[in-house]
Every structure is written in C-alpha cells, then in structure tokens.
Amino acid sequence: MVPFAWIILVSILLFALGAIALITRRNAVAALMGVELMLNAANLNFVAAWRYYYPDHLDAQVAVLLVITIAAAEAAVGLAIILNLYRRFGTVDLDQIRLMRG
C-alpha cells in the first residue's frame, strides 16, 4: 500500500493549491472554489487517517459526511452572495471591490 505520508503530502498539496487559488484568482467564484478545494483536502486527510490507522472508528467517516453537507451549504450561500455582488458592482473581480479600506 502507498505510505500514509504520501497521502498526507497529497492532501497538503491540495490544500496549498486551494490557498494559492484563493490568493491568485481575482474571480470571486474561483476564490470560493479554492476554499472548497481546501475543505476537500481536509476530507482526504480524514479518510486516509481512518483507512490507515483507525479503521475501527467511524469518527472520520461521520466527519467527512458532515463536511460535505456543510460545504454544500456554504457554497450555496456563497454563490447567492456573489450573485448579489455582481448585481451591485457589475463585476465579480475581487480587486475592484474595495470601497472600504484604511
């Protein structure tokens, strides 16, 4: 079987990719996708830890289910807000949305 460390590495890479998307993408939807990617990186981690070390406990499985639903709710609400953002500002470019600063 693949060593556990590799899977951790992959999940960390996924997480980092999500974070990079968050920082570099100017599109609000893309930033949100970055966040989802980060959440799923954590999920991968959970499942791997369960599979490798603690196959008798169901904690991780439950946690993953929980996260999937919560992520869906978050995405739904997030998209609704971003839609409203487009209506107000006429753009979803995050760099152009800075009425407040200082």
Partner 1 sequence: MFSLLWLAPTLPLAGFLILATVGARLPRRVNTALGVGSVGLAALVSLLLAAAWAAAPPGAYTQTLWTWLHVGTFAPGITFYLDPLALVMLLVVTGVGFLIHVYAAWYMQDDPSIRRFFAYMNLFVAMMVVLVLADNLPLLYLGWEGVGLCSYLLIGFWYREPGNVKAAMKAFLITRIGDTALIIGLFLLFAQLGTVQIQALLAAAPGLTPAAATWAAALLLGGAVGKSAQLPLQTWLPDAMAGPTPVSALIHAATMVTAGVYLIARMHGIFTQAPGVMTAVAVIGAVTMLMAACSALAQRDLKRVLAYSTMSQVGMMFMALGVGAWTAAIFHFMTHAFFKALLFLGAGVVIHALGGEQDVTKMGGLRKTLPGVYWALLIGALSLAGFPFVTAGFYSKDAILYLSWTAARGAPWLWALGWFTAFLTAVYAFRMIFLVFHGPAVQAHPVRDARVSVPLGILAVLSVIGGFVLLPRVLGGFAPFAAFLRPVLPEPPQRDGGIFEVVLLAASAVASLGGIGVAYLLFARRRTTSPDAGLARFWRQGWGFDALYDRLVVHPYLWLAQECRHDVVDAFYHGLADVCLMLNGWLSALQNGRVRWYAGALVAGAVLLLALLVWR
Partner 2 sequence: MTWADLPALYPMLIPAATAVLLLLTLTVRRDARLAAGVAMAGFIAGLLALAASAAELSHPVTMLLTVDRFAVVFWGILLFAGLLVSVFAVGYFRTLREPREEFYLLWLLAVVGAMVMAASAHFAAFFLGLELLSVSLYVLIAYPRMQSRAVEAGVKYLILAGASSAFVLFGMALTYAATGTLTFAELFTHLTLFPGDVLLLGGVVMILVGVGFKLALVPFHFWTPDVYEGAPLPVTAAVATVSKGAAFALLTRLLLGVIQAQPGHSTLAVIFTLLALASMIVGNLLALAQGNLKRLLAYSSIANMGYALTAFIAGGDAARVAIPYFFAGYIVAVLAAFGVMTQLSTPEHELQEVEDYRGLAWRYPWSAALLTVALLSLAGIPLTAGFLGKFFVLTAGMAAGRWTLVVTLVLTSGLGLYYYLRVITALYQAPLEGEQPTPPPLHLPHRLSVLTGLALAVLAALLLLLGVYPSPVLHLLAWP
Partner 3 sequence: MTNQTISIAIFFVLGVGFWMIALAVSYLARPSKPTKFKETSYECGIEPSGSAWYQVHVRYYIYALLFVLFDVEVAFLYPWAVIFRRIDGGQMLLFSELAIFVLILVFGLVYAWRKGALEWE
d(CA 87, CA 77) in angstroms, rounded, equals: 16
Residue 33 Cα to chain centre, angstroms = 6
61 binds, among partner 2, partner 3, partner 1, none (CB under 5 to 8 A by kind): partner 3
φ, ψ (nearest 5 deg) of residue 49: -60, -40
b/e code 56-85 from CB counts within 10 Å (16+ = b): eeeebeeebeebeeebeeebeebeeebeeb
55 binds, among partner 2, partner 1, partner 3, none (CB under 5 to 8 A by kind): none
Q: What's the residue count for the chain?
A: 102
- As given in the structure block, the two tokens for residue 52 are 């490798």
Residue 26 as a binder of partner 1 (CB under 8 A): the answer is yes
Residue 87 as a binder of partner 1 (CB under 8 A): the answer is no
Count of chain residues binding partner 1 (CB under 8 A): 14
51: helix, coil or strand?
Answer: helix
Per-residue contact string for residues 54-83; x = within reach of partner 2 by CB under 8 A: x--x-xx-xx--xx--x--xx--xx-xxx-
Count of chain residues binding partner 3 (CB under 8 A): 14
Binding site for partner 2 (CB under 8 A): 4, 8, 11, 15, 18-19, 22, 28, 31-32, 34-35, 38-39, 41-43, 45-46, 48-49, 53-54, 57, 59-60, 62-63, 66-67, 70, 73-74, 77-78, 80-82, 84-85, 88-89, 94, 97-102
